[in-house]
Amino acid sequence: MRIAVLGSGSGTNFAAIARAVASGQLCNVDIALVVSDVEHAGILNHARAFGCPCAHIPASNFKTKLEGPPEQAYIDALRAARADYVVLAGFMRMIKRAMLSAFPQRIINIHPSLLPAFPGIHSWEQALSYGVKITGCTVHFVDDGMDSGPIIAQAAVPVLDNDTPASLHARIQEQEHLLYPRVLQWLADGRVRIQGRRVTIANI
Peptide bond into 165 cis (omega under 30): no
**Mean pLDDT of the 142-154 span:** 96
Instruction: Note if 177 is an active site residue.
Output: no
Name the residue type at position 98.
Answer: A
What's the confidence (pLDDT) of residue 34? Answer: 98
Q: Determine the 3-state secondary structure of 124 from DSSP.
A: helix
In this structure, what DSSP letter does residue 30 have? E
Residue 195 has pLDDT above 80, yes or no: yes
Pairing, β 30-36 against β 2-7: parallel
Considering 46, 111, 140, 177, which one is annotated as catalytic?
A: 111
Identify whether the C-beta of residue 204 lies closer than 8 Å to the C-beta of residue 191: yes
Q: Looking at 56-65, 108-117, 184-193, 195-204, which range is the least confident one?
A: 56-65
pLDDT in tens, 70-102: 999 999 999 999 999 999 999 999 999 999 999
Task: Please provide the average confidence, as pLDDT, over all residues in the chain.
Answer: 96
**Residue 152 pLDDT grade (very low, low, confident, very high; cuts 50, 70, 90):** very high
Percentage of the chain exceeding pLDDT 70: 99
**Mean pLDDT of the 139-157 span:** 97
Percentage of the chain exceeding pLDDT 90: 93
